[in-house]
Structure 1
Amino acid sequence: MSNKIIIKESVRGIIEYVLKTGSLDDRYMGKNRALEGTLAHQKLQSSNEKIYAQYQKEVRLEQSFDIEDVVLLLEGRADGIIIDDGSVYIEEIKSTMKSLVLIDEDYNDLHWAQAKFYAYMYSLQNQLDEINIRLSYFNIETEEVKSFNKNFKFEELKEFILYIINEYKKWILLKSNLNSIRNKSIKNLIFPFNTYRKGQRELAISCFNTIKEQAVLFAQAPTGIGKTISTIFPAVKSLGENRGERIVYLTAKTITRTVAEEAVNKLKDNGLICRSITLTSKEKICFKDKTKCNPDYCEYAIDYYDKVNDVIFDILNDDTDFTRVKIEEYAKENKVCPFELSLDLSLWCDVIICDYNYAFDPRAKLKRFFEDDVDKNILLVDEGHNLVDRARSMFSAEIYKSKIMQASKLIKGKVPKLYKALTSINKELIEVRREVQELEVNSMYKKDQYKDLYKLLRIFLKECDEYLVKSVNTEGYDEIRDLYFEIRSFISISELFSDKYVTLVEINRSDAKVKLFCVNPAENLAKVVQEAYSTIIFSATLTPINYYIDLLGGNEKSYRMKLPSPFRKENLKVYGHSLNMRFRQRENNIDNLCKLINKFKEEQLGNYMIFLPSYQYLKQIYERYIEIYSDKDTICQQEVLTEREKEEFINNFQDGANILAFCVIGGIFSEGIDLPGNKLIGCIIVGVGFPKISNEGDIIKDYYEEKGFDYAYIYPGINKIMQAAGRVIRTEEDKGRILLIDDRYFTIKYRSLLPKEWDINR
């Protein structure tokens, strides 16, 4: 066995791959209830523990199968094993919204197939000649159970299992061959550049060693080191030594996904042979006007499961680089859904490039990678500083009273039970609103939950199930369906509620919003960060690093490193002016600020960006500046821009243009924009980047007590400053200048947070 290649697969995965047929259909059918499904399992398992003296739940089973020079290791978890009066039962539990009257013994062959695998494994390990399978359906609404028992001879089970294994054989041999070719190419793979930049080798070695130890690394590596290739290269080398099974490169922005693709392609140009894929959201890659995945609306959904395996087999034999463009081409050629094709194809890929939400968002994450197989992932989290706010958003949820009222009006007189449920929710939200009004404020938060509201929301979900199945294409259906999923999301997040959360209520005239706000996302993130094979979180701005370790799921065992800039210190001149830019003084300093801006840009001609603390102040400064100095060679960022307008804005930065661009700090032009050489020679940063004062910000401040103001405002602000400043020097040849305008930059606090190599000239 040791001389053979070992390939691990899940029982459920292999069953679905071999036996699943039919079309894609995302129309509501009352069955997409993962949360309730888990609860259903727990309830029935608890009941069985009381009934049977010999009962085990969630029993892990595995069995190996020799297929030529490959060992297939199948893993799974039986919901329950019952030993009653000498008879052994393997129980498979399935939750359903369907009336149990409509479910018979032959309801779903895949359910029996999965249980047969577990029965075979258990029988083989315990030398049983026969065994029983109990398939139990648990109705979530009524909590009734309907079970079917079947007795199987061991030889009968063996025949079935060998049939499935034989059907899957070509896939196992394909995967073995692809992995063998990949590993041989990795063995001879060298770093794709002749020399390492300053700090680049140290980062690559630290990543490799972290993966080797199956640990977590937080790395601050400035712009110019080449972070992307320095993390992907050691991760690829680790795959070649059978550490982890795939690399998942997580990003926050499209531009960084492109950089990751380029890095992988650079390695491929140097001899790497591996499968890589970039996942694109359903909304962007869908061929239809609306993302409605069902055979009545979309021709690409028809018979998807009957076609997709052959399509993937052919693709894997022909190609290794699966970009959005290629996936769309394959999907059109074979008339299959491009989004689902990309997800199914990703199962066979060595490098997966995708957005954060595929890994972390409980409402969107890929369960195939981040629940079932999370321990096989080497995670590379790019621009890790962005994950703090994204995580708070992903693990929070909210509902609005106005949406409840709107839904009530749509179904009034049509669906009495549903209308009654919505009316009850509305009354409860009126009481919540009154609670805030009595305090004579517009908002309040508490550390406990409105559990009475949760009960009413669950009643709505229950009543809505029948409506959504029976009322398709009726007036108001889409609005009720959207509200249903919003409330489901709210209830799902409520299951995560802990001392890391608060309930925030905000009122605006007659409307009220109840938000489950995740103040500290660390615990939720840690479930992926810590359970992965290894995780590397990196960015040019992870200052202070303990703040990010604290919030992004790290712990005292997490490694940390901070690399200095690879560029010569004299290439960047940093200046400071102690003008008071606190909120209350901004209005008084408009003319003084305009003079400073003009003076700085006149000292050395070239293209400059000015970063201001808000859109409102941006508008004031720009209008006053052009009033004093004219609008010649000036451009101003608008609050809402199309993709084309963003490109046009950036295209203004050409050699010799002498453009003065007024932008907002933390906006789209202060991060991820690459303007090397003379395209940008300087930036002026006004203020210290504080996030806008908000209820959420003040909640964070209160939550972290003595560290609160730093965590809520100072550290996120410094991050914005560093990102904006990072636009100026992009290559070893670049020279530039920065002007920091705020008296706080000269305090001990801020000097300790700014780069040590910055000598601020007054």
Structure 2
Amino acid sequence: MTATAPSLVPEPDADAPLGAVAVRALCEFAARSGDLDLRFSPSPTGAEGIAGHSTVTARRGEGYQREVPLASHWQGLRVQGRADGWDPAARRLEEIKTHRGDAHLIGPAVQALHWAQARVYGWMLCEQLGLAQITLALIYFNIDTGVETPLVQTHDAAALQAHFADLCQRYSGWARQEQAHRRARDAWLQTLPFAFARFRAGQRDLAAAVYRCHKAGQPLMAQAPTGIGKTVATLFGALRAMPAGAHDKLFYLTARTTGRQLALDALAHLSAGAGPAAAPLRVIERVARDKACEHPDKACHGDACPLARGFYDRLPAAREAAVRVPHLDQAALRETALAHQICPYHLGQEMLPAADVAVGDYNHFFDLGAHWHGLAVAQGWRVALLIDEAHNLIERARGMYSAALEPADFQLLRPLAPPALHKAFERLHRPWNALARQLAGAHTVLPGLPADFMAALQALCGEIADHLATHPADGLGDSPLQRWYFDALQFLRVSETFGDHALCDLTPSLRPRPPRTRVAQPVLSLRCLVPAPLLASRWEAAPAATLFSATLSPMDYVADMLGLPATTRRLDVPAPFAPDQLAVRVAPAISTRWSHRQASLTPIAEVLARQYREAPGNYLAFFSSFDYLEQALDRLRQRHPDVPTWAQTRGMSEPDRNAFIARFQPDGQGIGFAVLGGAFGEGIDLPGQRLIGAFVATLGLPQVGPVNEQLRQRLQARFGRGHDYTYLFPGLQKVVQAAGRVIRTEHDHGTVWLLDDRYTRAEVRRLLPAWWPPAVTECPPSV
């Protein structure tokens, strides 16, 4: 069972002022009831919503007041916001909501929340103007048709005041509890001891730099070697800085599940310093919805899923129970949610505002429409970031701001689409065929977004939205129409960010052409090449951000690609390891270039076998692709069948990955084969005799191809170092990460073999860790 601790919720101070809360936040906390209902409901974008409000208010007569600032106080709580519109002549206050589809299909729970907001504004206006009665109008405005659907109610001021007081009463208890928690948390953090008896070499410097930068609200790039305990050091520094920097939240962002668990373990160690009473620090782990869903076969609404039924009615009790659980990891969150019969994933969403530290994937803060970033901006949180293995953020951010449309999916859907959508599908089919005529060879770069195609895609998405709003059954489950519609919406969202940092291109589809399809339509892709301009808003929202990794060199490259502010501090922590702990060997007679790979297989097999026989134990051998790995593995098994081997496979499941790692026991022997840059190239810890050596049979360079050559040209134009930024620096980062699996502690010893003649070049040697001893050049055994 999950341990609970009453001491986690300090006694509130009934006389302390509660500060301010927005009308929307107050109503979302206290006025929701009934089911969780995430049935498809097409909604306008933020920009469309703003435009819709402007359209409605522009229709009103002279004297109509827009965006009316209002505020009211209740027992130390200030409630504030802006009413959409006020007609003083008619004494009518309007709350405007934009939508798509039939307004009568807007659910009662959503309407109840909208009416709660209107009534709060109604009371505040009655109080401000001394009105005894007021007319409230909830205006639903269809942004596609321009039609207004008004719902009108008349209320006495006394009834509105009672409603306002009831919401404030429900909220105030929670707010006072949160206020007391914040005081206790900050007092504890100011004296937080380090989790261990002493710092490892380099840990104190790293923790101190994080503390200083977070206190000052300044970004930091920190390169520190593997094995010194970067996770606990950065967390310690950031937590100690939270009171000094007045930070509301600390977001710990990772690229991999293993990194998330390391952070949770480190937080548990740090919290253990509180002694018998649990530490007043709330930690929450967030995972993807598909990993948290209890009923993946059911739709997310009360008519289908028992955990969505009555969700908001049971939420207050679940929320009160959850704040008494110090570490809401995935298991604890699930246990708490199921005890109250509500959805674990959405309970996690509701608990994020109460958490002090949230641990999750990069996408929670950096993705388009990222939930954590959106909340931070909307709630005005002061947020600090810790970005683990930050070298991965470059490629991950590229993926977040890229999109592609596959023609095979579109062609398969066309004959299945509802008849009302056939014309809209045909209107997109024609410009897609026109794009096929522009495809020249395997890759064609377009000068910009194809205007006719984009207009047709926008129109089709609008018609699908209207259709699904009036025919919700066509969007139930994972229907092909809804699935394609979501892909198309993502493409449109990415297109709104298009600029000289990105590429719009055509490539042939690798999928079979559907029957009766005359033209082979191309894949249309939007590729983010340089994510820097798109991440600017993220750094603005969290100026206290630490990016750390063992491979942030060269730092100019990372800063340029991620668009880090010019004020970013830099730290390179010296390695605590001695050169005699590691032997570095280079095989200059081996080339792993594409054209030489067949010739390299036997020499590589001989190097692996000789090293294994000279020093039996556990080794990792890294290759640039699964094809290369499999060929090298076959050659080693043919020539040296006595050498124990095991290998990473394509699409490896999590249990299989765990079994692969489990082979590395202190008394084990053999060679594990893995792909460079994959699951075993970083983020795994195999100290001591669990791993005594590694072979890297590649320089790690990305494959030369049309897209990477376009990237090289763009980076050359922007930064003057196109080849290095595209190929050399990303490749060597992977190499150093993989080799870093060998020496994890001050007591480890091991060997790294660099199997490629290019490792003899000075420009490559400069990118290897400074603490490594000079590489010994050795020829492979004669074959």
Aligned partners of 1:221 and 1:540 also within 8 Å: yes
Measured after TM superposition, the shift of residue 583 of structure 1 is: 2.1
Specify the SS of the correspondent of 2:97. Answer: strand
Q: Judging changes above 3 Å, is the alpha-carbon distance between structure 1 residues 290 and 8 closer, same or farther for their aligned structure 2 residues?
A: farther
1:141 aligns with 2:156: no
Aligned partners of 1:530 and 1:554 also within 8 Å: no
Residue in 1 that maps onto 2:727: 713
1:295 aligns with 2:302: yes
Residue in 2 that maps onto 1:566: 576
Measured after TM superposition, the shift of residue 366 of structure 1 is: 3.8
Measured after TM superposition, the shift of residue 511 of structure 1 is: 4.6
Aligned partners of 2:530 and 2:561 also within 8 Å: yes
One of 260, 284, 300 as aligned partner of 2:291: 284
Residue in 1 that maps onto 2:481: 480
Residue in 1 that maps onto 2:231: 228
CA distance in 2, matches of 1:325, 1:170: 28
CA distance in 1, matches of 2:44, 2:443: 33
Specify the SS of the correspondent of 2:743. Answer: coil
1:45 aligns with 2:34: no
Deviations along 1:454-497, one digit per CA (max 9) or x if unpaired, are 22222222322344342516999711111111111111222222
1:343 aligns with 2:352: no
Specify the SS of the correspondent of 2:173. Answer: helix
Residue in 2 that maps onto 1:428: 431
CA distance in 2, matches of 1:313, 1:384: 35
Residue in 2 that maps onto 1:669: 680
Measured after TM superposition, the shift of residue 446 of structure 1 is: 2.4
CA distance in 2, matches of 1:639, 1:274: 40
Specify the SS of the correspondent of 1:290. Answer: coil
Measured after TM superposition, the shift of residue 576 of structure 1 is: 1.7
Residue in 2 that maps onto 1:489: 490
Residue in 1 that maps onto 2:3: none
Residue in 2 that maps onto 1:456: 456
Specify the SS of the correspondent of 1:627. Answer: helix
Aligned partners of 2:286 and 2:330 also within 8 Å: yes
Specify the SS of the correspondent of 2:332. Answer: helix
Q: Following superposition of structure 1 onto structure 2, how do residues 513-532 of structure 1 map, counting pairs within 5 Å?
A: 513-532=523-542
Deviations along 1:181-230, one digit per CA (max 9) or x if unpaired, are 32332233211222212221111111111111112111111112211111
- Alignment gaps of 5+ in structure 2: 1-12, 514-519, 778-783
Residue in 2 that maps onto 1:408: 414
CA distance in 1, matches of 2:34, 2:255: 35
Specify the SS of the correspondent of 1:198. Answer: coil
Q: Following superposition of structure 1 onto structure 2, how do residues 365-380 of structure 1 map, counting pairs within 5 Å?
A: 365-366=371-372, 369-373=375-379, 375-380=381-386
Deviations along 1:639-671, one digit per CA (max 9) or x if unpaired, are 232222222222222234321222221121111
1:356 aligns with 2:362: yes
Aligned partners of 2:215 and 2:242 also within 8 Å: no
Deviates more, 1:156-165 or 1:350-359: 156-165
Aligned partners of 2:367 and 2:400 also within 8 Å: yes
CA distance in 2, matches of 1:242, 1:756: 34
CA distance in 2, matches of 1:192, 1:464: 55
Residue in 2 that maps onto 1:399: 405
CA distance in 2, matches of 1:474, 1:319: 38
Residue in 1 that maps onto 2:205: 202
Specify the SS of the correspondent of 1:720. Answer: helix
Measured after TM superposition, the shift of residue 727 of structure 1 is: 0.5
Q: Following superposition of structure 1 onto structure 2, how do residues 579-618 of structure 1 map, counting pairs within 5 Å?
A: 579-618=590-629
CA distance in 1, matches of 2:285, 2:110: 37
Instruction: Give the aligned residue type for 1:16.
Output: E
Q: Following superposition of structure 1 onto structure 2, how do residues 193-272 of structure 1 map, counting pairs within 5 Å?
A: 193-241=196-244, 243-271=246-274, 272=279
Deviations along 1:588-637, one digit per CA (max 9) or x if unpaired, are 33222322333333332221111112111112222122222225312232
CA distance in 2, matches of 1:221, 1:75: 46
Aligned partners of 1:248 and 1:379 also within 8 Å: yes
Residue in 2 that maps onto 1:548: 558
Measured after TM superposition, the shift of residue 74 of structure 1 is: 4.4
Q: Judging changes above 3 Å, is the alpha-carbon distance between structure 1 residues 121 and 560 closer, same or farther for their aligned structure 2 residues?
A: farther
Residue in 2 that maps onto 1:747: 761
Specify the SS of the correspondent of 2:752. Answer: strand
Q: What root-mean-square deviation, in Å, do the aligned CA atoms of Structure 1 and Structure 2 show?
A: 3.1
Residue in 2 that maps onto 1:319: 325
CA distance in 2, matches of 1:342, 1:176: 20
Deviations along 1:672-702, one digit per CA (max 9) or x if unpaired, are 1211101111111112101233443223212
Residue in 1 that maps onto 2:736: 722
Measured after TM superposition, the shift of residue 136 of structure 1 is: 3.5
Deviations along 1:481-521, one digit per CA (max 9) or x if unpaired, are 11111111111222222222221211137352111111111
Measured after TM superposition, the shift of residue 90 of structure 1 is: 6.2
CA distance in 2, matches of 1:365, 1:215: 23
Deviates more, 1:233-242 or 1:185-194: 233-242
Q: Following superposition of structure 1 onto structure 2, how do residues 533-544 of structure 1 map, counting pairs within 5 Å?
A: 534-544=544-554
One of 163, 169, 183 as aligned partner of 1:180: 183
CA distance in 1, matches of 2:387, 2:69: 31
Deviations along 1:335-373, one digit per CA (max 9) or x if unpaired, are 111111111122211111111111122255346534413
Instruction: Give the aligned residue type for 1:355.
Output: D
CA distance in 2, matches of 1:481, 1:380: 36
CA distance in 2, matches of 1:144, 1:475: 27
Residue in 1 that maps onto 2:4: none
- Alignment gaps of 5+ in structure 1: none
Residue in 2 that maps onto 1:275: 282
Instruction: Give the aligned residue type for 1:450.
Output: P
Specify the SS of the correspondent of 1:347. Answer: helix
Measured after TM superposition, the shift of residue 245 of structure 1 is: 0.7
Measured after TM superposition, the shift of residue 103 of structure 1 is: 8.4
Aligned partners of 1:398 and 1:515 also within 8 Å: yes
Q: Judging changes above 3 Å, is the alpha-carbon distance between structure 1 residues 591 and 446 closer, same or farther for their aligned structure 2 residues?
A: same
Measured after TM superposition, the shift of residue 740 of structure 1 is: 1.1
CA distance in 2, matches of 1:291, 1:742: 53
CA distance in 2, matches of 1:674, 1:340: 33
1:686 aligns with 2:697: yes
Instruction: Give the aligned residue type for 1:339.
Output: Y
Q: Judging changes above 3 Å, is the alpha-carbon distance between structure 1 residues 74 and 51 closer, same or farther for their aligned structure 2 residues?
A: closer
How many equivalent pairs are there? 745
Q: Judging changes above 3 Å, is the alpha-carbon distance between structure 1 residues 150 and 560 closer, same or farther for their aligned structure 2 residues?
A: farther
Measured after TM superposition, the shift of residue 83 of structure 1 is: 8.0
Deviates more, 1:527-536 or 1:480-489: 527-536
Identity rate, percent: 29
One of 23, 26, 30 as aligned partner of 2:38: 26
1:623 aligns with 2:634: yes
Instruction: Give the aligned residue type for 2:687.
Output: P
Aligned partners of 1:447 and 1:501 also within 8 Å: no
Q: Judging changes above 3 Å, is the alpha-carbon distance between structure 1 residues 749 and 60 closer, same or farther for their aligned structure 2 residues?
A: farther
Q: Judging changes above 3 Å, is the alpha-carbon distance between structure 1 residues 525 and 132 closer, same or farther for their aligned structure 2 residues?
A: farther
Specify the SS of the correspondent of 1:26. Answer: coil
Measured after TM superposition, the shift of residue 155 of structure 1 is: 6.9
Deviates more, 1:492-501 or 1:380-389: 492-501
Q: Judging changes above 3 Å, is the alpha-carbon distance between structure 1 residues 658 and 57 closer, same or farther for their aligned structure 2 residues?
A: farther
Specify the SS of the correspondent of 1:515. Answer: strand
Aligned partners of 1:580 and 1:586 also within 8 Å: yes
Aligned partners of 1:375 and 1:532 also within 8 Å: no
CA distance in 1, matches of 2:576, 2:702: 30
Residue in 1 that maps onto 2:389: 383
